[in-house]
Amino acid sequence: MSVKIYHNPRCSKSRQTLQLLVENGVQAEVVEYLKTPPTIEELDTILTLLDMQPRELMRKNEAEYKATGMNAPDLDRDALIAGMVNAPKLIERPIVLANGKAAVGRPPENVLAIL
């Protein structure tokens, strides 16, 4: 089973989710998404797997949300995805991909359903 976690080591929920994977014997590919953001195509696929719209996966309380103009109500899906790739801090974390599915680790136990 191939498992990938989009991880931010400074985030407690992300650390807890990674620890939960380890405790369940899962060896995941760890992608520190602030250093290596997903591509537009990857993020589009992740959103599809999560059955979410871009704003649902955005951290709207981050200063970058307004500073980058992502709060503009007229932005379409492509513009929002591009904005998240350009400002990855806006992407909710952690995201785990496994078995052709995706889950946001908030709470961390959410990811167990896709393993």
Whether 11 is a known active-site residue: answer: yes
Catalytic residue among 2, 8, 11, 32: 11
Q: Read off the pLDDT of each residue in 42-55 and give the average, rounded to a whole number.
A: 98
Number of Cβ atoms within 10 Å of the Cβ of 87: 20
d(CA 48, CA 68): 24
- In this predicted structure, the answer to whether residue 102 has a pLDDT above a threshold of 90 is yes
d(CA 91, CA 33): 9
pTM for this one?
0.95
pLDDT one-digit tens code per residue, 57-85: 999 999 999 999 999 999 999 999 999 99
- In this predicted structure, the answer to whether residue 1 has a pLDDT above a threshold of 90 is no
Q: Read off the pLDDT of each residue in 33-38 and give the average, rounded to a whole number.
A: 97
